[in-house]
Amino acid sequence: MKDRLIKRLQDQIKAIHTHKAAPAVPKEYLGMLEYKKENESRLIRTLILELKPRGVGVLMIPGLAAHLLFMCVRHADYLNDGNKLKSLMNGIISAIKEVITNQQESFEVLSFWLSNTYHFLNCLKQYSGDEEFMKHNTLRQNKNCLRNFDLSEHRQILSDLAINIYHQFISVMEDALFPMIIPGMLEHESLQGISSMKPTGFRKRSNSVYEDGGDHSGSEPFSVTDILQQLDASHTSMAQHGMEPQLQGQVIRQLFFLIGATSVNSILLRKDLCSCRKGMQIRCNISYLEEWLREKDLQSSCAMETLGPLSQVAWLLQVNKTTDEDAAEIKQRCSELSPVQIVKILNSYTPIDDFEKRVTPSFVRKVQALLQEREGSSQLMMDSQYRFQVTFPFCSSPQALELLQVPSNLRLGFVTRI
């Protein structure tokens, strides 16, 4: 009896040592976030109203806030809870409006929410179930499409909201850039030290006009380097916030247009800017802007095309202005300038040394005669406040919702990953 008991205990001990635990089956997530209805205001406060654009978790994943909000939308749709879904969508839209209204001068906040509103809009399209938006989806992404509700009306509201954010965003950047344009592009003499003017990298954040309010008193006059550094600050922030490259290109195109139009208007009003040397200086500065676009891989943005009139002004200031052939070439080459602009610059041309000659009235009349049949604007000044129409082309996201984890620093412990 005793031997049998000992044998049984020995067998049990052996079984304990030889037994291998069955591997844990990894939980398969559905790409949704669940929250209680009474926590809706807390969710919106955490993910929108109190979210900081510089948060570590926010910057790690482009459009993180948008994707987390959409995962909440998916769960409400999964439950077929129309009231919960409608309340959430209205709450999201209202909260974004509130943030933009309260911080309408904050470049970072506008950049962040322009990017996330665009990402959220893309999510609503990509997972809508519409075939035109599903072409680049994986099979799993197609399984994540909304099942019960059509949110096309909310998509239109979000699109209108994104347009408003975009225009406010442009206004803030234009206000920062505008004081630099005339001194940087036209007044600052960099030809004597071109090598020292070449930008060497990103501007420090603390020196950005967005940070210090644009106070430039008591310091050196603005140069083209300041313009390039401000463009750097804009581009870096947009990239950090995960803004789609196509949208970044539209922003930069608008800023380049402001640079070109403001510069042309100033030249038209100031004789001291109408000389061969200024034409050389402007051409040099335009080349810096062109190089900056290449470095940022933004050539497809059509930003350089907006500098066409300024490039032609720079050429006109440098070209010979004497013979019939010169007049014919001016007509051919200055296609983006109106006749009144060309004549104004010729009449304002002011030689600054003995090697240059003043443009004769007879030559101006020759050019006028050649330009008589040209159709187009008769305006002298360019409309520097003109805005290109912004578009939000659909961009499919490769982000797998079921793999997306909620960073702990967002303090969303009341939300459950499903």
Instruction: Output the CA–CA distances (angstroms, integers) from residue 333 to 284, 316, 327, in the order listed.
Output: 19, 9, 10
3-state secondary structure of 34: strand
Which among 58, 45, 30 has a CA at the least distance from the CA of 407?
58
The CA distances from residue 339 to 267, 268, 292, 384, 390, in Å, are 15, 13, 31, 19, 30
Q: What is the pLDDT along the chain (418 residues), one digit of tens a residue?
A: 556 655 665 665 565 454 444 444 457 899 999 999 999 999 999 999 999 988 756 667 889 999 999 999 999 999 999 999 999 999 999 999 999 999 999 999 999 999 999 999 999 999 999 999 999 999 999 999 999 999 999 999 999 999 999 999 999 999 999 999 999 999 998 766 443 444 433 333 334 555 444 455 445 689 999 999 999 999 999 999 999 999 999 999 999 999 999 999 999 999 999 999 999 999 999 999 999 999 999 999 999 999 999 999 999 999 999 999 999 999 999 999 999 999 999 999 998 877 778 899 999 999 999 999 887 778 899 999 999 999 999 999 999 999 999 998 889 999 999 9
What per-residue string of b and e applies to 239-275 under the rule 16 or more CB within 10 Å gives b? ebbbbbeebbbbbbbbbbbbbbbbbbbbbbeeeebbb
Return the pLDDT at 61.
82
Name the nearest CA neighbour of 280 among 385, 377, 355.
Answer: 355
Assessment of whether the complete model's pTM goes beyond 0.85: yes
CB 145 within 8 A of CB 128: yes
Q: Provide the 8-state DSSP code for 192.
A: G
Residue 416, strand partner residues: 34
pLDDT at 4: 63
Neighbours of 108 (CB within 10 A): 17
**Is residue 109 exposed (0-12), middle (13-18) or buried (19+ Cβ within 10 Å)?**
buried
Tell me if residue 417 falls in helix, strand or coil: strand
pLDDT attached to residue 1: 56
User: Of 358, 371, 359, 366, which is closest to residue 325 (Cα–Cα)?
Assistant: 366
